Structure 1
Amino acid sequence: MATIDLTSDAFEKTVTADGIVMVDFWAEWCGPCKAFGPVYEAASEKNPDITFAKIDTEAQQEIAGALEIRSIPTLMIFRDGIQLFSQPGALPGHALDDLIDQVKAIDMDEVRAEIAKQTDEPSDAD
């Protein structure tokens, strides 16, 4: 099994690590979550260079609450500690594969430069 079960103890350390980290928020009672599970697992097998994590929202309610998870499944993607994606809903395999390709193609130097630019600029709301 290529996915890891993530708990509050390891969440921050995992998502702030270098590389791509995908997190699937799910629950045992959730039909769409159960349908997405094998798709997510298959993607993890095809992409050993990515960390694929799963968070059971019933067992890890503090994480789900802190991240304002309102619908499941929800997929979040982090790269080099920066959240790049968060969207509820189960994806078909081809859409997940395409999303992974897009995340791999992102120029993280550009992302970091844009974040720095936004944090250095004064607010327009003055």
Structure 2
Amino acid sequence: MFVLHQNKQDKLVEKKSKFLGFSFSVTSKIEIKEKLEQLKKEYKDARHVVWAYRFQENGVLREKYTDDKEPSGSAGSAILFLLQKKEAMNCLVVVIRYFGGIKLGKGGLARAYTKSANLVLENNLQKSENGS
């Protein structure tokens, strides 16, 4: 298992659409809710706020994602898959999209969301000391 070294933010532009990526270390649904509310308030003019998380609570794995009105399977599930692949734990990744006027298609969206999520995870995961 790997955990975040630090909270991180990055930006990606794909065909004029802006993707703002954020990663946060989290250990509860309350923390996740607070982070999401804060970002939605700060970026209220964004078209989509897509997220995925993985954390352990009392020994139980909690995973969830949302596509936030993007085509099913093109956004949040791509981020969750990346978290699973990297064995990231106690982690919330949020990608905020500002539509640039050019449709990316389902495959293009999945690649862009994955790339944006990877930017905030890249060189930012460290082996967990306690295995959780």
Q: TM-score, normalised by structure 1?
A: 0.35
Structure scoring higher RCO (CA < 8 A, sep ≥ 6) equals 2
